[in-house]
Amino acid sequence: MPLIFPNRSRSFDESRNGVRFTGYDGMFEVKFLIEASALRTASAVSRSEDECLRAFDSARDTILKAASNVYGRGGKDRYTLTAEDVRQ
C-alpha cells in the first residue's frame, strides 16, 4: 500500500526547529519532521513559526513527494527531511 497523507494537519516543533506532519502506510502511522532550514530560501534566512507553517503549506505537494521518496528507502516509523531531500 502506498504512503498517503489524508490528514492536512501540521505543527511546529520548537525544540527540533521544524514542522511535524504524519503519513499512513495502511494502518501504520509514519511521523515526519521537515527541518526549518529546508523551508528557508535565500531571501528568508530565518523564519518564525508562522512563516515555517505557511512555507510548508505553500510547498506541501513537494514536501509530501519528498516524504514518500524518503519513506521508500527504509522501513522506519519516523523520518527527518532535510533541504537536500526536498531538492531531489
Structural domain spans, the chain: 3-87
Q: Structurally, what CATH architecture does the domain formed by 3-87 represent?
A: 2-Layer Sandwich (3.30)
Task: Cell numbers for 76, please give them.
Answer: 522506519
Q: pLDDT value at position 43?
A: 53
Give start and end residues of each alpha helix (H) in 1-88: 49-58, 60-72, 83-87
Q: pLDDT value at position 48?
A: 84
Between residues 16 and 1, the one the model is more confident about: 16
Q: pLDDT value at position 33?
A: 98
Reduced to 3 states (helix: H, G, I; strand: E, B; else coil), residue 58 is helix
For the stretch 42-70, pLDDT in tens is 556 567 889 899 999 999 999 999 999 99
Reduced to 3 states (helix: H, G, I; strand: E, B; else coil), residue 10 is coil
